[in-house]
Amino acid sequence: MFDKHVSEVPIDSVIITNRARKNFGDIKSLAESISAVGLLQPIVINENNELIDGQRRIKAYIQLGLKEIPFYRVTLAQIILGEFHANSNRKDFTSSERVAISNAIEEFLRKHSKNVGRPRSVQRSDKSTIKDSRLILDPTNEGSKNNVVNLTTFSGRVKDNVSRYFGISRNTLEKEKEIINAAEQNPELFGELVKKVDLKKISVDKAFHEIHKQNKRAQILASVRSTNDNSSSSNVTLLHGDFRQLSKTIPNESIDLIFTDPPYAAEYVPLYEDLAIIAQNVLKEGGSLVAYVGHYAIPKVIEIMENVGLTYWWPIAVILSGSFARHYPRQVTIKWKPLLVFVKGDKLSTTDFLSDVIKSNTPSKVLHEWEQSTVEAEHIISRLTVEGQTVFDPMMGSGTTGAAAVQNDRKFIGIEIESEKFELANARIGEASHGQCSEIASKSRE
């Protein structure tokens, strides 16, 4: 299947067919690296000396004036048929090389086969079952349509045998393909990621999930930009008054995230129902409502939100620092605050994982006694929205959410009923956005 001891092949004997890659990048730096530390990974060729992977390495060798290059040889037909010894698994191939070999096998099949499909079960006379690949190969005579061999004892699918040859799962190989394809389509964004995978600095799974995260983020950003191009709305809108009335001015399904801190006292628990009703109207499908809740009120608030129609998603523990408050009626020292996450619909719109533990900083309390740290807001905003999307805080207090939103390039709508807090929020958010609050609508209390 491959040369057990890596030897060298004359470069001029390697057949380079039409290659997909047109941009070979910085060959000079690669040549300098090879000159300094040697060739870390041989090229890969097939049984006919056709190059499968390593054209950049060949170009670097030529630039160095070298005539021969180390190589691995793979026999594609034998890999397809699973005719290799268990000890021949090549676990030392890089992800790039595994994908190149897999792609070469697909090309081999296109050239040498017909009627390729899913294997079908065949019952033999001895009652054992074999798989019939329906694969017809002509590995010795490409040009002849008559000289063919029907191979009917191939057990399993081609992709299973290919991955088995490498000693990895089929699922891992498919992920490697997606990683390489992503790098080819967007080398600036994902090129370095492939290098890290090849050097085993990060796992295939981690790279795969990073690509999916970045692609999803790019899709959302494109949608946001398209919406913003057709909108003349301001980046920051601050409204002075009762959120239960002023929220009616916000268009339905226009908000991506509501992040707010209602008053904790028991008499204010009914506000959560008002908040839930507003969220159902203004949130986009998949949008989130994230709210601080007093420990004692968690069961009641969840019940209220679900009765209105929101989906309870997850609790987040905000770990406090500095001096701790005490809840005397129940004799508890409070060292964490609950944040509850609710979703409109049954699927959370996000580009990343939320942490359900956030270590907070002690806020200055300069603006008012209930001032919150920006750490929680920044964590939530960065995970549940992307740049250009809209964050809404209907009880914004001194403007913590708004400051975090504008500093992270989100649009912000804030409502505050108390005049002093509204003025503080106005100043704080204006400073955070460097005086770019393009619209501040002030209304008296309803």
pLDDT at 194: 87
Angle made by CA atoms 43, 40, 106, in degrees to the nearest 5: 30
Q: To the nearest 5 percent, what fractions of the chain are helix, strand and coil?
A: 40, 20, 35
**What is the CATH code of the structural domain delimited by 234-314+339-352+362-441?**
3.40.50.150
pLDDT at 147: 32
Nearest to 413 by CA among 287, 224, 240: 240
Closest CA to 120 of 137, 102, 101, 135: 135
Closest CA to 71 of 18, 130, 10, 132: 10
In CATH, 7-174 is 3.20.20.10: no
Q: How far apart are CA 27 and CA 55, in angstroms?
A: 10
Question: C-alpha angle 353/289/329, rounded to 5°?
Answer: 100
What local confidence, expressed as pLDDT, does residue 19 receive?
A: 58
Residue where the block lists tokens 């040889």: 73
C-alpha torsion sign, points 183, 348, 225, 404: negative
Amino acid 151: pLDDT: 39
Going by C-alpha positions, the residue among 390, 412, 286, 388 that lies closest to residue 341 is 286
Q: What integer pLDDT is reported at residue 6 of this predicted model?
A: 62
Q: Residue count of the chain, please give it.
A: 446
Question: Residue 90: what pLDDT?
Answer: 62
Quick one: DSSP state of residue 360? P
Distances in Å between the Cα of 175 and the Cα atoms of 141, 182, 309 are: 34, 11, 37
Which pLDDT score is estimated for 132?
Answer: 43
Question: Of 247, 243, 288, nearest to 380 (Cα)?
Answer: 288
Domain ranges of the chain: 7-174, 175-231, 234-314+339-352+362-441
Beta bridge partners of 317: 338, 357
Identify which of 403, 410, 422, 411 has the alpha carbon closest to the alpha carbon of residue 239: 422
The pLDDT of residue 273 is: 96
Looking at residue 247, its pLDDT comes to: 95
pLDDT given at position 85: 57
Q: Are 338 and 316 in contact (CB under 8 A)?
A: yes
DSSP 7-34: EEEEGGGSB----S------HHHHHHHH
Q: Residue 65, by phi and psi: left (phi above 0), alpha (psi -120 to 50) or beta?
A: left
Give me the average pLDDT of each 10-residue run along the chain (446 residues).
Answer: 63 78 72 84 85 87 91 81 61 81 80 54 46 46 38 56 82 91 85 87 90 78 61 78 95 96 92 97 96 95 97 95 79 92 93 88 50 81 93 94 93 93 85 56 42
Q: How many CB atoms lie within 10 A of CB 347?
A: 10
- Integer Cα distance of 236 and 435 in angstroms: 11
345: left (phi over 0), alpha (psi -120 to 50) or beta: left
Q: pLDDT value at position 35?
A: 86
Rounded Cα–Cα distance for residues 151 and 269 (Å): 73
Q: Write the DSSP symbol of residue 50.
A: B
The rounded distance, in Å, linking the Cα atoms of 199 and 178 is: 17
